Every structure is written in C-alpha cells, then in structure tokens.
Chains A and B, each alone.
Chain A
Amino acid sequence: MSDIMGKGLVYIVEDSIASGALYASQLEQVGFECKHFADGYSALVGIKEKMPAVIVQDVCLPDISGLEVLQFVNKQKNPANVVMITSNSSIDIAVEAMRLGGFDFLEKPFTSQRLISSVESALTPKEQTKVQPLVQSSDKSQDFVGESLAMKTVFRLLDSAARSKACVFITGESGTGKEVCAQTLHDSSPRSQGPFIAINCAAIPAELFESEFFGHVKGAFSGALSDRKGAVEVANGGTLFLDELCEMELNLQAKLLRFLQTGIFSKVGSSEVLHSDVRLVCATNRNPIIEVAEGRFREDLYYRLNVIPVKLPPLRERGNDILLLAEYILKQKSDSNAKHFIGFSDEVKALFCNYDWPGNIRELQNVIENTVVINDGDVIERDMLPNSFGLGAVKHSSSAKSIHNTNDQSVQLSPMSVHDIEPLWQVEKRAIENAIKSCEDNIPLAAAYLGVSASTIYRKIKGWS
C-alpha cells in the first residue's frame, strides 16, 4: 500500500476535472500520490488493476452510482477505505453509503484540512480495522451483554459501525445502557487507542458549554485563569460521546454543526483555527424526530448525526437477557463487596422476569447492589430485595402480588372539581420529592425508579429553585 511518495496511493473519483485535480493537488502537497478518475467505470478498472490505500469519491457520478463503486470495492480482497463526497442535496445517499461500509463522508464545501484529515484517518487498511468481539474489549464494555434477538441486531449494527468514522446516534429509554454502548463502540473501533470522552449535555450549564466543548484561552471570560483544552481537542484521535444531546441549546447546536461540517473549531476567546479528528457518538432518551418537529433540535444537525441510528431496547423487551444481566451484575457486585452470592431463587427470578423495569438496567443494578450490600448468603431470596423494589409497574400482577403497582393507582381516577386540579409541574415536583424521600435522598436511585436519568432530576430541582 505504501508508495513512492510515502503516505500512499489515493484514487479520486470525481466527474469534474477541475475539482478532482484540486483535491489531488491538496493531497499531493502532504505526500499522497493521487490518481483521478472522471467516471465510475474507469475507477472500477483502476481498482481492479491496483487497490489504492484510500478512495475519495463523489456519490453522484455520470455513469454509475457512487454506491455501486463502494460495493464493488468492498467485494475485493483487501478493500480500501472509501471516503464519500456529497452535497447537501445528496446527503441521503451518503448516509446509505455509510451503512454500506463507507468510511467517512465529506459534505461540500469542505476545507483542504478536512479532506487531508479524513484521508489520513482512512489510511488504516480495512483488515486492521476489523472490529474486536463486542463484549471482550475493556472492563466497561463487558457490561454490554445480551443474547436476545433485539440485542443481536444492535451488536450487528455496532459491528459495521465500528469500522467507519460515521456518526452514531443512540436512542433508548433512560438506563438502557447508552453510554456503555458508546464505550463498546469506541473499544471495538480502530480508535480504541485514542481517548473516549463523554459529555452529558444536560449537566453542563449553558454558559459554560462552549468552553467545555471547544476550550478557552486565558482571559476569555471572568474565571478563565488559564488556557484550557475542550472536549473536542482532548478527544482528538478518539471518540466524543455526547449524552442527552437534545438538551443542547440551539445556538450551540449551530456551533456543533459547523464543527461537524468542517472539522475545525476555535477556543472561546481565540481566533486561532484548530483541527480535531473525532468520531462523534450521541445519545438521547427523547424522540429526536419529535424534538426536530417541535423546533428544539436543528433538523440539519439531526441528519448529520443520525448516520447510523442505534435503538437500544428497554429491558422489559429483552426476555432472558434480564436474568443474564442479573447474574452478570450479581457476580460483579458480590466480588466488589466481598460477598458470596451465586444466584437467585426461583421466586426472585420470576419476579425479575415479570417486572417492567421502568428504570431499565440502571434499576436492575441498583436493586442487586442494594440487596448484596445489605444481605449475606448464597442465594438472593425474595425477602432480601429492597422494600422499594417494584415501585414501578409489573407485567403480570398475578405473579407478583406483593409488588406495589403505581399504574394500578393511576387507574383509580375519580371526578374532581376544577378548583382541585393541580398544575402539572406541582404534581411532578411532589412525585419526584416523594421518590427522593423514599430512596433516602439517593437521587440516582430515585431517578431509576422514576424511569428518568439522574441529571433530569437535578435539572428539575434547579428549575424549581
């Protein structure tokens, strides 16, 4: 793969002679050898004769579709990584290209720096970018276990996503393991040696967000006592995970979009243009389509980020994964607390399988940890479970009669005077405060039972004050 010029051979497939020659010149300046093909068929012949290190190609070609070229490349032995060039009007095709194994896509207009960075990232041959088995990469990603059909689909999607640099958008209810999913994706990607930086967009005050994200220089604002690198710069060469993305303010969404389009940014208080090569993984427990429709999330940013959508199923839809996860977590918690639990009684297993788990895996973890810490023995029995277990809904009330079911309460509605109707925020406030009190001021635990993330609770509390 390595050629006379040093960095490697790049094929540019672009129907405009002037544009193709410009891309080639920009890459040649930094040591690549380039060959330009003005149509798809001549590119196929060139690829058949000699596989380059990287292929940069327009998705719209005069004779055949750019997707056909991509598929042809991927059928060859030792296929090159393919970087797609797209205009705004052909973004759908680019998204499809990423699903078919494209490495990255550049949206016109792009800078020479962005082109060079993308091609350099794509230099790693595909054989070396094969994903690692998804549950064996790091301690944290081992938490991402499952055998249900729904999870097998997720694993397959992550397998193909790990090979490319495309943005991944993870959705799922609170507690379904979105951050663990992002970490797993990072660990199984060619970027695994680079940093994994996670940012919770809901936990950072709006006025500090830009600084957290892009960094600042000394004196940029009161309190900026020294230069500070932002997450984008720190994550260079690795993965940047943005949790609760839909909480990001619109003006910051515009800045994120600009960074995604150009790969460049400036620290707060500086005009110096910096570059960072990061893979972006985002997550939200909201429905992003509704957020877009209601104007809280930019549509252009959504399409830019939603290249590979991954939907994590709620725990109640994962069948036997509930017990698989429970046993995995029990072993972890027993080891870390020097206890000797080896399993669950049949009654507990039945309870677990019939419970709805509104707080998902986070709730399961909390229930097991609580039980392990307080009790001793070999087997977890029903009476060892915390009293608060089951505050959420159960799937089948007959099999778990002792569990208090809040849904049943909500069914017992009686007419009231309009003067008795409370504002919704007060009802919500009381429900949250009660949950926190019931969980002895343990906000993460209360959040799990309420089926929301802890940061949502913190945000609500801040809002009331």
Chain B
Amino acid sequence: MPISEQFIDKSITELNVLIQLEKDVGISVLARLVNLFIDELVTMANQLDTAISNADIIKIREIMHVLKNSAALYGAAPLAALATQLHDSPPPTTEENLHAALVIKHNLDKTRDAYQIMSKSIAI
C-alpha cells in the first residue's frame, strides 16, 4: 500500500521524505528498506544503552555519526536533528553528554515504534 499521511506520526516522520523515497525505489523496496532501518535502530539502541552504562563518550559519538545520517535519509527529522547536535556540537562535560544520549535513546525508541507501525501498514 502506498505511503500516506494516515500511516505516519508527523511529530516523528517527514511524510515528503518517504514519498520521495517511494518515488525513487518503489513501495516494495521501500518496505524492505524501512525494515532495515528499524533493525538498525534496534542495534543502535542496544549499543547506546551499553555506551551510556560505560560512560563511553567516543562510542556515543560514533553511534551519532551513523544515526544522524540514516535518520535524516529515512525522514526521522527530529531524531536526526538531535543526533546531529550531539555529534557536531557535543556539550563540554561527560554528564551533559550522557544526559543528551539518554534523551536521544528515548527518541530513538519512539522513532523505532513509529516506524514499526508504519512498516506494518505499508506491508498490507
């Protein structure tokens, strides 16, 4: 089923990005790609949990490097903006970095849930 407004949470996803992706690659390829994106979000959520527990700022930055681009590519604009901010302009202290990473982890989970719902809808 083609991408439409009813499948997406506008506070999390930019509809026009997904519509363009559908034009570029077709709906069946897009459905597969969205599932890959969801898998990547799950992987990154786990990695982020571990990095936050270990206060590993370098690992957090590596995760943000991947997340800022892939989230933007798949239309998850708010998540991409948060990841870009933490990657490009990290706060000065470890505590602030970890706090920002926790905020992103929360948004990452929300984004994953929203894309899972969308994925089921376009697979129908």
Show the binding face of A for B, using Cβ within 8 Å.
15-19, 21-22, 25-26, 29, 60, 62, 87-89, 108-109, 112
Contact = CB atoms under 8 A, between A and B. Distances in A.
A87 B36 contact: no
16 contacts: A18-B36, A18-B37, A18-B74, A19-B69, A19-B73, A21-B32, A21-B33, A22-B74, A25-B24, A25-B25, A25-B33, A26-B24, A62-B62, A88-B88, A108-B69, A109-B72
Given A25-B25, A108-B72, A60 B65 contact: yes
Contact of B21 (A22, A87, A88): A22
Given A22-B33, A62-B62, A29 B24 contact: yes
B80 to A, nearest CB: 9
A290 B83 CA distance: 34
Chain B CB within 10 Å, residue with most, of A21, A22, A87 = A22
B68 interface: yes
Interface residues of B, number: 23
Contact of A87 (B20, B24, B69): B69
B66 interface: yes
Nearest to A21: B36
A17 B39 contact: yes
Interface of B: 20-21, 24-26, 29, 32-33, 36-37, 39-40, 62, 65-66, 68-70, 72-74, 87-88
A26 B21 CA distance: 9
Contacts of A88: 88
B62 to A, nearest CB: 7
B70 A19 contact: yes
B40 A17 contact: yes
Contacts of B66: 15-16, 19
B25 A29 contact: yes
B87 A89 contact: yes
Nearest to A90: B65
Contacts of A17: 36, 39-40
A25 B40 CA distance: 17
7 cross-chain pairs, A with B, having the tightest CB-CB distances, nearest first: A18-B37, A25-B25, A18-B40, A16-B70, A112-B24, A16-B66, A19-B70
Given A25-B25, A29-B26, A109-B72, 13 more contacts: A17-B36, A17-B39, A18-B33, A18-B74, A19-B69, A22-B73, A25-B24, A26-B25, A29-B24, A87-B68, A87-B69, A89-B88, A108-B69
A31 to B, nearest CB: 13
Nearest to A30: B24
**Considering residues A15, A19, A88, A89, which has the most beta carbons from chain B within 10 angstroms of its beta carbon?**
A19
A112 B17 CA distance: 11
A109 to B, nearest CB: 5
B22 to A, nearest CB: 11
A181 B70 CA distance: 41
A17 B23 CA distance: 21
Contacts of B24: 25-26, 29, 112
